[in-house]
Amino acid sequence: MGFAEFVVVIAAIMALNPLAMDMMLPALPSIGASLGIDVPNRLQMVLSAFLVGFGVGQFIIGPLSDSFGRRPVLLGGMVLYGVASVLAIAAPSFATLLLARALEGLGTSATRVIATSIVRDCYAGRRMASVVSLAMMVFIAVPVIAPSFGQAVMLLTHWRGIFVVLMLYGIVALVWSWLRLPETLPASERKAFTIPEVLAAYRQTVTNRQTLGYALAAGGVMGCMFAYVFSAQQVFTGIFKLGHYFPLAFAAIAIGVALAGFLNARMVGRIGMRVISHGALIAFLVVATVMFVAARADALPLPLFMALSALMMFSFGMMIANFTALAMEPQGAIAGTASSLYGTITTLLGIVLGTTIGQDYDGTLLPFSTGFLLCTLATLAVVAITEKGRLFQPHNKPVG
């Protein structure tokens, strides 16, 4: 396939994950009412269960794809995603729904890991970062429309209709991938699927300073994003009283991250991954500090919160694709396993941080702003240690 179709199909595959995540936001109150859940913070489990399945699944998807090729594992994961969506449509209880969500997350772990591995199979260095940025632009832009799309579905049908839409999208992505996406890992380069081989690849991944450092850094900023997503519906409808206009506010803020993906794809080849991502991390810290001070002073009205959140999203978008590319750069020989472990580390760390912050929601923005600031400070420390204090400086070779 041509370059444009390659980027689009990679983005479409990756979009399965955020679509399944963010379309659910407007449906949470209806799910609670339908399934008898009267504790608002507990409804965050609809999101966190999905992410747990996503994070755990990545741990094994990479080694499987390194052994058996990208296509069969990718297609198998997408089939699982479809089956899980059917289970969610028929879920008679909250527990069954959470099981279906975890299985959906498990299925999309294949799409996320293998999409990254396919890009690494085909490209390297700044060209890889450019492709990742273009795909991530679509991947991250999905939250701009997903809540509004979910709200539209809710206006036409029950919350279960959202899972019908997710199932149909999964079928389209599955058929497109089956027909058009080639196998990118030659049989001669596949690894034996044995415990010693897998453990050796994991050891190579976590003992590389650059890979581990940027995985932890990505997990730190993802923790901020997960906390924001987990509590967004409560914040916009509870604190700011937006009601059904919540998806519009969420979309307006999410535009920042889509814009960042577009700009990063155009700039990274000239400026470099470190200069852009380190600058964005400093901006992230400034936004976190301002939000914390404003929340402490009880002076965080909706316009200021939206402006700061948009800047937060923009900075995140300028960081995450470059953190991913920097982490994967030294791991060309074991791209699938490295991508798998990277995804597990970043997702599970993000879930732990995001859930901790989200469950502290008390009707104010102070828990979120405090967690945002602490996560950002920790991330800056990790990046500084990884780079041995040499921030903003391009390297001629990966840090080993």
What is residue 191's three-state secondary structure? coil
Whole-model pTM?
Answer: 0.79
Contacts of 60 (CB under 8 A, 6+ apart): 340
Q: What is the pLDDT of residue 165?
A: 94
Q: What is the pLDDT of residue 127?
A: 67
Q: What is the pLDDT of residue 272?
A: 86
DSSP calls for 270-284: HH-HHHHHHHHHHHH
Q: What is the pLDDT of residue 185?
A: 83
Q: What is the pLDDT of residue 103?
A: 96
* Residue 374 burial (10 A CB sphere; 0-12, 13-18, 19+): middle
Q: Does domain 3-386 fall into CATH 1.20.1250.20? A: yes
SS3 helix, strand, coil % of the chain, rounded to 5? Answer: 85, 0, 15
CB-side exposure of 81: number of CA atoms within 13 Å? 34
Q: What is the pLDDT of residue 288?
A: 97
% residues pLDDT > 70 (the chain): 92
In angstroms, the Cα distances linking 334 to 62, 135, 197, 213, 346 are 9, 21, 11, 18, 18
Which residues of the chain are modeled with pLDDT < 50?
Answer: none
Token pair 């050796």 is found at: 200
In terms of C-beta distances under 8 Å and separation of at least 24 residues, what long-range contacts does 93-100 make, across chains too? 93/35, 94/31, 94/35, 94/36, 94/37, 97/31, 97/35, 97/46, 98/45, 98/46, 98/49, 99/49, 100/163
Work out the angle at residue 57's Cα, subtended by the Cα atoms of residues 75 and 146, and round it to the nearest 5 degrees: 75
DSSP calls for 30-88: HHHHHHT---GGGGGHHHHHHHHHHHHHHHHHHHHHHHH-HHHHHHHHHHHHHHHHHHH
Q: What is the pLDDT of residue 396?
A: 56
pLDDT single digits (tens) 30-87: 999 999 888 888 999 999 999 999 988 888 887 888 888 889 999 999 999 999 999 9
pLDDT single digits (tens) 278-334: 999 999 999 999 999 999 999 999 999 999 999 999 999 899 889 988 998 887 767
Tell me how far the alpha carbon of residue 83 is from its chain's centroid: 22
